[in-house]
Amino acid sequence: MDLASFLRQRRLDWKRLEEILQHVEGSGLSSLDDEQAVEFGRLYRRAASDLNQAQTFVSGEATERYLNDLVARAYLAIYGKTRFDLLALLRYLFWGYPAVFRRYLPHFLLATLLFFVGGVFGYLVSWYDKDTSRAYLLPGQTIRPPEDGEDAAAEYNTDQLSAFSSYLFTHNVSVTLVAFALGITFGLGTVWMMFYNGVTTGVLAAVFVEAHQLTAFATGILPHGVLEIPACLIGGASGFVLAQGFLRARPWPRREEMARQGKEAVLLLFGCLPLLAVAACLEAGVARAPDWFLNKGLKLAVAGVFGLLFLAYILLLGWRQPSSRESEA
């Protein structure tokens, strides 16, 4: 096709796309009505096709530059996000995320089962072979239960609590992200992460039970564990969702299925961040608080309250979605 014929056939569509782009760049995509939105998408796809033709078959450097600029502007108008929508983010957290969680509840239950089996295994190994079981704990991990009459929590000042909380948040996020990322191993790495974390928890529980300090274990673990453990399990569930994209056969190309499942896995993983942030604060400010400041009963009460709030959040919210799309977050 020669340049003159190409320009004559396509010029009107390009001009129309420019008009819509000027409107969108000034007022946003939401200002388009349904017909305009459909037309915009059609003209954008046609312009992208014309750019490909101009680069391959048509001799005209100025036309190629013009189309490249036009397609780039349209792409940014569709996919670019110039400002952070806090309201949409909050709407997703309170209404969209619980629905996403329930959609992948089987994956969460699988992660929970693996964690539970690991916990039982770690507890039994520690009970019957104390020396070998300690190898399952991280090197340098403090496992000494408190002596009778000893305060189970170390005393920290405000700066130390803040630093400790920040460290815990970073560490727990890394564990959760690793469990998610290991989904690319077809889920095998995620299986191991869930099982291994259960083992370490079971071994630690056995150490405290052996020392007749089950209450100290509960008050040291539950205030933050009621959120921290579900967050890590959600990380494992998101890893299984990612693995599903690698394993599941579909009528459409596997690459498309992987991209779709990867997006769903990230949406599921996103909910771990606020849970881990609150859990880190609870561990530093409640579980580690000295007994003279917060007694064991109050610590367990805090654990119960936050556990119930988490269950209410994932089970009761998000059944009726708001009018705005949750994906806008």
pLDDT, residue 83, reads 59
Mean predicted confidence (pLDDT) in 281-286: 78
pLDDT, residue 10, reads 80
DSSP-derived secondary structure letter, 33: -
Mean predicted confidence (pLDDT) in 289-304: 82
Report pLDDT digits (tens) over 154-179: 444 444 444 544 555 566 778 888 88
Find out whether 94 and 317 touch, Cβ atoms under 8 Å.
yes
pLDDT, residue 238, reads 92
Find out whether 183 and 240 touch, Cβ atoms under 8 Å.
yes
Write b or e for each residue in 218-230: b if 16 or more Cβ atoms lie within 10 A of its Cβ, otherwise e. Answer: bbbbbbbbbbbbb
Find out whether 245 and 261 touch, Cβ atoms under 8 Å.
yes
Q: How confident is the model at residue 55 (pLDDT cuts 50, 70, 90)?
A: confident
Report pLDDT digits (tens) over 23-46: 887 777 777 777 888 888 888 888
Mean predicted confidence (pLDDT) in 80-91: 66
Question: Of the given ranges (19-33, 127-141, 241-255), which has the lowest mean pLDDT?
Answer: 127-141
pLDDT, residue 236, reads 92
Mean pLDDT of the chain: 77
The residue with tokens 């000494």 is 144
Find out whether 118 and 186 touch, Cβ atoms under 8 Å.
no
Find out whether 283 and 170 touch, Cβ atoms under 8 Å.
no
Find out whether 238 and 105 touch, Cβ atoms under 8 Å.
no
Q: Got the DSSP string for 185-217? A: GTTHHHHHHHHHHHHHHHHHHHHHHHTT-HHHH
pLDDT, residue 218, reads 80
**pLDDT reading at 139 higher than 90:** no
Retrieve residue 312's tokens: 């209410």
Q: How confident is the model at residue 249 (pLDDT cuts 50, 70, 90)?
A: low
Find out whether 63 and 54 touch, Cβ atoms under 8 Å.
yes
Report pLDDT digits (tens) over 194-247: 998 888 888 888 877 877 778 877 887 888 888 888 999 999 999 999 888 777
DSSP-derived secondary structure letter, 262: H
Q: CA separation (Å) from 31 to 28, 35, 36, 41, 77? A: 6, 12, 9, 14, 12
Question: Of the given ranges (18-22, 85-89, 101-105, 238-242), which has the lowest mean pLDDT?
Answer: 85-89
